[in-house]
Structure 1
Amino acid sequence: MTPEVAAALDRAKAELAQQFLSDPGVVGVAKGFRSRGGELTDEPVAVVMVLKKRREALISRRRLLPKTVEVDGRSYGVDVVETGEFTFSGTAAGAGVSDIVERIRPPLQGSSIGNAVDGSHGTLGCLVRDKTDGTICVLSANHVLANFGHSSLGENTVQPSVKDGGGPANDTVATLKRFVPLVKEADGANTVDAAIAQLAPDIEVDTAVARNLMAPISPTHPVIGMAFISSKLGACFIAKIDSILRKLDVELLTPNSTAPAVVGRPIEKVGRSTGYTSSFILDTSATVVVNGYRFEDLVFAQRFSMTGDSGAVVCEGGNGRTPTPIDYVECRMLATSGTYYDLPLTGDNDLADKARDEFLGQSKTGNLIVQAIYLNMERGIERLQAVGDGTAEERAQARLYYDRYRAVVASVLADPNSTVALNQGHLDDVRHMFAGLSPELVTAAEKDVLWVLFDQVLTPALGMNRRQLITYMDDLAVYNRVRLHLLAIPDLELDGSYTFSSGQR
């Protein structure tokens, strides 16, 4: 995209926002490239994000989005993308999976930190130098250090946070110095959520990362941004580092250690709640509207941060396949399915968790599938319970496939280097399974999508082993194709409920 086209699309985006963001069905606008057939094309377009994408015949003419927008005499396409709803989810505590909540001196990047007055908690991003006076400061999110700008300058910053046992008497490491104001949507848009607190004179400076979970910031390990919004399943929005540094008038302690965000590039972070995670950049110009705040020009990644990770500095690097952990919960879907099909599935929780974390969790598409399963699990359980028990034929077929594949799946999951490959017999069995799904359990629209995914996504994987399948499912084009088809399923919920990743609204 040339600078001229980008500038024109920015004007188009502003025009579309002015016309349509007041519509309750429209949640955001962006510039980008058109998605067609599940893959990004090279056509630059204005992107409009909606709660639910519907056929034109079902939308009033007043609310119908344009197919093109004209800027300076040139017409640009408008790509309407379904995203679901973005909301602040409240004041939940940290994820509790890999909490870095201990007292650390000197305070290190990735550890628990917060404002001592309002009790907010989040993550110490890194140390920076204030360009106005040369002092060393802590960098984190505005809502972590300054309570969305409601705190007074000079208030104590504690490590660990008050929520994690810290207190102003013994744990103060800095005092609030400056923050980038946040504005509500009616007054404009935000691009960052950031603040600094000046390090106390008696606190030593150390650029290491908590528990040595990641390499320090350097020219070969540059920062691309700071995580500050996350969803209940780890989807994450990241503010760009160059904007943060410029708006706060600060610099990193290590020169030449920033980099632009690039779609498809791996990233990593260490945060207070989920520790070390690594994912891939999926978008670099995202817009999200949350509880009256609008943020533009953000980076987006899957299963990368959770509540309490807000403020974590995001660097280039990692394998892209170390997702946010999900707490162990005995799967009600396994229990309900076991009753319906008369199978001992309640004993397979560990196997299901292994499949989730060590296979599906290693790719973009796999994480998308995990999110879709978790968010729509109650719907599946309700359908199974409404029917009661499966028919004798359903139970017989289920038992056949369970006996045939349970041990095979377990062996493949136990061996990352397994050479067992997807063969034609496996595809034939999946085809038979799809065909045998009753309409009480799977709607016609859902089954149509399953067949499309079978033909377009599963069949091309013929002959691939475990490692090859993970690489295949990590391809951005495959991810986009699967997401596009999942969005075509009526009422299917995908990850779209976001919150500032701290304990404060």
Structure 2
Amino acid sequence: MSRAPLCVAGLPEGLLLAKREMVSRCHGAERPIGGAIATHYRIADLRRQAGRLVHAIGIGRKLVAGKSTSTLSIRLYVTRKLPRSLIGAAELIPALVDGIPTDIIEAPPAFFAAPPVFPCTLKRLKRQRPLHAGTSFGHVTVVGGTLGASVRSRLAGEEALHLALSNNHVLADFGAVGLGTGVCQPSAGDGGMEADTVGRLLRFAPIVADGTTENRVDAAVAAMDDAIRISPGICGVGTVHGTAAASLGMAVHKHARTTGYSQGVIDDIDCDVMLPIDRNAPNRVARFVHQLRIRSKNGTSRFAQSGDSGALIVAKASGAATGLLFACPDHGGYAYANPIQAVLDELRVDLA
């Protein structure tokens, strides 16, 4: 009996298998991702580092002369493109993998979008009651991030709870804080104090930072105190209409703590990426698989920056939620997001 093709968002099995082969080659144990992150800041020996510049691998349309084509390819994101003369034969990335073209894209590595604090409008940083999605929010010990959305629990006994969705690293500090500890609005980095506590950490999806374990989501929910409510909709985005799977070329928008309202385009729908937990310790990294990559809309310079973690990514055409933003590079030209259905299923919640 023939086996049905393995598909991710409609992608053919051959393309996914070719991508997995490149992940094995470039993200294997013999190629520490810390080299790629460190190289972004200190390129001292290009020849030695040439084989360790790949920090993310995904699937998207091949770029030719800077323009998107109709050809699907294995996309390898590197900190810096190097001349072939500086790369040993064993380190060269093949033009084809099992007949599938590869595409090497120069882009700086992303970091969890938390500190440092960047200036933004007073409205996004101010204390707001009721709460508003897309504004400053976080654990009382964390500089801060963004309140993504109001959600409700699927679990018996939690029907009456009013829950707020954001990232693990925003609400649980990568698991360093205990369940039941406080979250505040605005965040501590925006002046939030004990009097601004609005709820308690309820649960989060653990993040394993060993460089090999597959992490799917960076997500957490907090239960709001009895007197706290979250307004419907998202600043600048409007009402969210359910969820939808992401697709290549999908136009999206979001509202977040630092950059406020911005628009982007999904250009990778199955990206495996390595992210350092601590900028000062680049060898402590978390591997995230099957992620979304969103670039800024043409004509704009940035889509997200530090502090925007936790923002809901919403399709412009349908108003459906597609992802939860969790990482971006310092220049803000692109961001990574967890597919929203994976987030909701992991936390056992639904959009309210």
TM over 0.5: yes
Equivalence for 1:137: 163
The CA deviation at 1:139 is 0.1
1:91 aligns to 2:100 (yes or no): no
The match for 2:288 among 264, 289, 295 is 295
The CA deviation at 1:100 is 1.1
1:260 aligns to 2:245 (yes or no): yes
Equivalence for 1:191: 216
- Distance in 1, Cα, partners of 2:225 & 2:59: 43
Write the deviation string for residues 3-61 of structure 1: whole angstroms up to 9, x where unpaired.
Answer: 32343234324323345743432222122343334334444332222222233333112
Equivalence for 1:62: 90
RMSD: 3.2
Equivalence for 1:167: 193
Equivalence for 2:174: 148
The CA deviation at 1:288 is 3.6
- Distance in 1, Cα, partners of 2:22 & 2:91: 17
Equivalence for 2:149: 126
Counterparts in 2 of 1:110 and 1:45: CA distance versus 1, 3 Å: closer
Write the deviation string for residues 71-125 of structure 1: whole angstroms up to 9, x where unpaired.
Answer: xxxx433333322444569832133345512222221212221112x13311111
Counterparts in 2 of 1:199 and 1:54: CA distance versus 1, 3 Å: same
Counterparts in 2 of 1:10 and 1:185: CA distance versus 1, 3 Å: farther
Equivalence for 2:52: 24
Equivalence for 1:307: 306
3-state SS in 1 of match to 2:151: strand
- What is the identity percentage for the equivalent residue pairs of Structure 1 and Structure 2? 30
The CA deviation at 1:196 is 0.4
Equivalence for 2:340: none
1:277 aligns to 2:286 (yes or no): no
The CA deviation at 1:497 is 9.9
Contact map agreement 1:25 1:52 (CA 8 A) in 2: yes
Equivalence for 2:232: 207
Contact map agreement 2:153 2:163 (CA 8 A) in 1: yes
Write the deviation string for residues 319-341 of structure 1: whole angstroms up to 9, x where unpaired.
Answer: xxxxxxxxxxxxxxxxxxxxxxx
Equivalence for 1:78: 102
- Distance in 2, Cα, partners of 1:183 & 1:191: 10
Alignment of 1:79-478 (within 5 A): 79-86=103-110, 91-97=115-121, 99-116=123-140, 118-133=141-156, 134=159, 135-168=161-194, 170-210=195-235, 213-218=236-241, 257-291=242-276, 292-296=285-289, 297-302=291-296, 303-317=302-316
Contact map agreement 2:112 2:306 (CA 8 A) in 1: no
Quick check: 19-28 or 180-189, which moved more?
Answer: 19-28
- For 2:313, give the aligned amino acid: V
Contact map agreement 1:178 1:197 (CA 8 A) in 2: yes
Structure 1 gaps, min length 5: 219-256, 319-370, 376-493, 501-505
Equivalence for 2:48: none
- For 2:106, give the aligned amino acid: E
- Distance in 2, Cα, partners of 1:101 & 1:33: 37
Write the deviation string for residues 211-240 of structure 1: whole angstroms up to 9, x where unpaired.
Answer: xx331212xxxxxxxxxxxxxxxxxxxxxx
Contact map agreement 2:124 2:260 (CA 8 A) in 1: yes
The CA deviation at 1:127 is 0.8
- Distance in 1, Cα, partners of 2:53 & 2:216: 22
Q: Which has the higher helix share?
A: 1
Counterparts in 2 of 1:119 and 1:34: CA distance versus 1, 3 Å: closer
Counterparts in 2 of 1:198 and 1:86: CA distance versus 1, 3 Å: closer
- Provide the TM-score with structure 1 as the length reference: 0.50
The match for 1:15 among 24, 36, 39 is 24
Contact map agreement 1:107 1:206 (CA 8 A) in 2: yes
- For 2:287, give the aligned amino acid: R
Counterparts in 2 of 1:69 and 1:198: CA distance versus 1, 3 Å: same
Counterparts in 2 of 1:5 and 1:100: CA distance versus 1, 3 Å: same
Write the deviation string for residues 293-321 of structure 1: whole angstroms up to 9, x where unpaired.
Answer: 33332222221222222211121228xxx
The CA deviation at 1:496 is 7.6
- For 2:167, give the aligned amino acid: A
Q: Computing the radius of gyration over CA atoms, which structure comes out larger, 1 or 2?
A: 1
Equivalence for 2:7: none
- Distance in 2, Cα, partners of 1:91 & 1:32: 30
3-state SS in 2 of match to 1:57: helix
Equivalence for 1:475: none
Counterparts in 2 of 1:294 and 1:95: CA distance versus 1, 3 Å: farther
Write the deviation string for residues 157-184 of structure 1: whole angstroms up to 9, x where unpaired.
Answer: 111222223223x322221011111122
Aligned length: 281
Structure 2 gaps, min length 5: 1-9, 33-50, 277-284, 297-301, 318-328, 338-352
